[in-house]
């Protein structure tokens, strides 16, 4: 009949056998402290050293944090302006500007698009043109062009830019 061994002792024996076979590299488990130790008996995971720059972090971290906060505040302010119902141009005013050769931009706040603009074809009547979409300001190829008419672009710019793009353009 086999002798019954307590579970903790059995686990220790099994771990010692697996370590002898080289399963855990140079680390070993110290049952007394309940930690994994390196070959030189130092804990593999010790307490994190304190930040040498204090609670605020380095100067670059502080500047980056302040810049991000300023950008987020400005973006929130722009979104509020758009929601507050500022005067919008009518479609007739937009069509007049387009026929005069102006490039128009979607002024809706978007988490998807960095920039969305439309320009009429130079040899057309002002209703056909190209939408230029930039998804990221760091995009190396400068964005993407889509052939859309003016009414489609205005519908795109009047609603959620990303939802319309996914449903109608893509």
The average pLDDT across 148-161 equals 79
Q: Looking at the chain, which runs of residues are DSSP E strands? A: 28-30, 35-37, 104-105, 115-120, 128-134, 144-149
How confident is the model at residue 147, as a pLDDT? Answer: 87
How confident is the model over 117-151, as pLDDT tens digits?
A: 888 888 877 788 888 888 776 666 678 888 888 88
Domain assignments of the chain as residue spans, ordered by start: 7-37, 91-169
How confident is the model at residue 43, as a pLDDT? Answer: 82
**CB of 99 within 8 A of CB of 126?**
yes
How confident is the model at residue 80, as a pLDDT? Answer: 76
The average pLDDT across 40-48 equals 76
Q: Which helix (H) or strand (E) holds 128?
A: strand 128-134
How confident is the model at residue 97, as a pLDDT? Answer: 81
Q: pTM for the full model?
A: 0.46
The average pLDDT across 44-62 equals 76
**What is the rounded distance in angstroms from the CA atom of residue 4 to the CA atom of residue 24?**
27
How confident is the model over 67-114, as pLDDT tens digits?
A: 989 988 888 887 777 666 666 677 788 888 888 888 888 877 677 777
């Amino acid at each position: 009949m086999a002798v019954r061994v307590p579970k903790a002792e059995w686990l220790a024996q099994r771990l010692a056998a697996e370590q002898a076979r080289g399963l855990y590299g140079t680390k070993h488990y110290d049952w007394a402290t309940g930690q994994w130790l390196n070959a030189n008996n130092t804990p593999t995971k010790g307490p994190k050293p304190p930040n040498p720059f204090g609670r605020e972090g380095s100067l670059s971290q502080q500047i980056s944090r302040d810049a991000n906060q300023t950008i987020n505040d400005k973006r929130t302010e722009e979104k509020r302006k758009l929601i507050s119902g500022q005067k919008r141009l009518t479609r007739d005013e937009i069509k007049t500007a387009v026929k005069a050769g102006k490039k128009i931009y979607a002024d809706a706040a978007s988490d998807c698009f960095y920039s969305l603009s439309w320009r009429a074809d130079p040899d057309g009547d002002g209703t056909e043109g190209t939408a230029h979409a930039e998804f990221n300001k760091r995009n190396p190829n400068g964005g993407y062009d889509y052939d859309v008419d003016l009414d489609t672009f205005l519908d795109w710019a009047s609603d959620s830019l990303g939802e319309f793009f996914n449903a109608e353009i893509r």
